[in-house]
Chain A
Amino acid sequence: MKRHILRLLPPAGSMVLFLVAWHLAVRWFSVPSYLVPSPGDVLVASWDARSDLVPATLATLAGAATGFALSLVAGTLGAILFSQARWIRDSLYPWAIFLQTVPIVAIAPLIVLWSGPGFASIVLVSFLLSVFPILSNGVEGMSRIDPSLLELFRLCRAARWQELLLLRLPHSVPFLVAGARVSAGLTVIGAIVGEFFAGYGASRPGLGYLVQMSAAQMKTELLFASVGASTFLGLLVFLAVGATSSLLLARLQTPPSHH
């Protein structure tokens, strides 16, 4: 515990230094607050807007968490499907890679056009941005198996489902977990991007919508506060998924990353 606190000291120190420098710079050069508000102003604005910020953060979390859950399920199922027949993988996997290279900002308006503004579109954008790391890692984990292990299963006359359940799936768990860690960061970004385009239709405005509104209305303190909340949310989700995956890997007794 003491070691953890000691490790947190340097970044916390640099953070404090940065905030002080920011505050002094704004004061000395008398920067207008609609361009750069001082950290104190941001803090006051955050407190004043807490009745907007907290529900917005929760709304974005709901979109991101739903997108993440979808990515986990669809990514794993996709990887299983690709592992079952070479021709399926060969004919579909290139398109999955292609999908990943399409800029999400470019197709988000299309998604809104098709599934309407609101929660569904936000979740879809979040899902599209975060599914690929899980899918690609899952495909790796299902296929990069020691050939001798596959021979062993053939010698035991294992059925296809036995090979999947007893070999491919457990073998791919560490890969899927690594993919989920990357995906966790992307899923929050995806939800916020989704809200930029579809947030006006949601029953509760999320952080992406708040960022857009405060920028349009020149409420720079609120804009800073929303960006701060988004960063905080991203960090929180990343840490939560990181802790869960560490627990899971420790449980599975998989030797530390020899992959």
Chain B
Amino acid sequence: METQSQQLVAVIEGLSHSFPDGTGTISKMDLDLLPGEFVSLVGPSGCGKSTLLRLVAGLLEPTSGAIRRDPARGVGFVFQSPVLLPWRTVADNVALPGEISGEKRADRRRRVEELLELVGLKDQARRYPSQLSGGMRMRVSIARALSGRPGLLLMDEPFAALDDLTRSRLQEDLLSLRAQEGFTTLFVTHNVPEAVYLSDRVLCLSSRPARALSQVRIPEPTERDPEWRTDPRAALLAREISRALGGRGP
């Protein structure tokens, strides 16, 4: 039992959270995250998905239950909006976490170059966030979250504000980033097709306080490509998730 839990990236056990005024946000949640896994949390808006991410990140304290994370590797967090520093260039925004942790300047520069290459922003390194499109800003935000080589990437509806085309591009790029960097992802969305496209597992949550209603595994295909978006099996899985959430299917 002990050895098994040490292989996991994060273990959430009997987790409950409520705000000081008594409103419950999360009720008795259990979740294990395996290395390299992509897990989506899907549920009605305002159900406590974002709170769950903040609990895992350590930004909030659980009311009861426990979260155990591999202490050797940090977490990266991608917010709903890019939250970049407007007075810093793209490269300096990506370098920020390393600068705060006191990483050596040369190491930092190398990592920033590598990440900007990976997210396709090598030529934008010296531009400022105000000169970028919404999709590019989100790429900068993702690069920044990955700068400390986190074992776990937490994403809070990162693509919700983007147009459909940009969103599809970023979804595909996220999957190739994950293939290259090997991080585990906990992804919050209320977009069911998005969850089906990206995830290995989708956890369907109830409205507040959030409970796990059911879990849908998406075992295949292991290599996701745009064809999977229109695959009949994907449509069936999306319908299953929507049913679990209490809807009548897409």
Identity of the chain A residue whose Cβ is nearest the Cβ of B81 in the assembled complex: A148
With both chains docked as a complex, state the minimum distance between the C-beta of A159 and any C-beta of chain B, in angstroms. 8
Q: What is the total number of residues of chain B having a CB less than 8 Å from a CB of chain A?
A: 20
What B residues does A255 contact at CB under 8 A?
86, 130
The yes or no answer to A158 lying at the interface (CB within 8 A) is yes
Contact of A254 among B54, B83, B87, B99 (CB under 8 A): B87
Chain B contacts for A173, CB-based, 8 A: 87
- Given known pairs A162-B100, A253-B87, A254-B87, the reply for A155 and B130 (CB within 8 Å) is no
| Most-contacted residue by chain A among B75, B86, B101, B128 (CB, 10 A) | B86
CB distance from B221 to the nearest CB of A (A): 33
**Judging by beta carbons under 8 Å apart, are B86 and A166 in contact?**
no
Partner of A148, one of B79, B96, B100, B130: B79
Which secondary structure characterizes the binding site on chain A? helix
How far in angstroms is the closest Cβ of chain B from A157? 7
B59 touches A151 (CB 8 A): yes
Residue of chain B at shortest CB distance from A153: B100
Give A148-168 interface residues, CB cut-off 8 Å to B.
Answer: 148-149, 151-158, 162, 166-167
> With A148-B79, A148-B83, A155-B57 as given contacts, are A166 and B130 in contact (CB-CB < 8 Å)?
no
Residues on B with C-beta less than 8 A from A157 are 100-101
Is there a chain B Cβ closer than 8 Å to A90's Cβ? no
Q: What 0/1 readout, one digit per residue, does chain B (81-98) give for beta carbons within 8 Å of chain A? A: 101011100000000110
Whether a CB of chain B sits under 8 angstroms from the CB of A252 is yes
B38 contacts the other chain (CB 8 A): no
Indicate if A201 sits at the interface (CB-CB under 8 A): no
Beta-carbon contact of A151 and B77 below 8 Å: yes
For residue A252, give the distance in angstroms from its CB to the closest CB of chain B.
5
Distance (whole angstroms) from the CB of B61 to the closest CB of chain A? 13
Contact of B59 with A158 in the complex, beta carbons under 8 Å:
no
The listed residue (B77, B86, B100) touching A158 by CB distance below 8 A is B100
* Interface assignment of A109: CB less than 8 Å from any CB of chain B: no
CB B163 to nearest CB in A, in angstroms, measures: 21
Distance in Å from the Cβ of A44 to the closest Cβ of chain B?
Answer: 53
A153 to B96, CA, bound (A): 9
A39 at interface (Cβ–Cβ under 8 A)? no
Nearest chain A CB to B87 CB, angstrom units = 5
Q: Which 8 A/B pairs are nearest by Cβ-Cβ distance?
A: A255-B130, A156-B100, A148-B83, A148-B79, A156-B97, A253-B128, A158-B100, A170-B87
12 contacts between A and B (CB under 8 A): A148-B83, A149-B83, A151-B54, A151-B77, A156-B96, A162-B100, A166-B99, A170-B85, A170-B87, A173-B87, A253-B130, A255-B86
Query: Which A residues are within 8 Å of any B CB, using their own CB?
Result: 146, 148-149, 151-158, 162, 166-167, 170, 173, 252-255
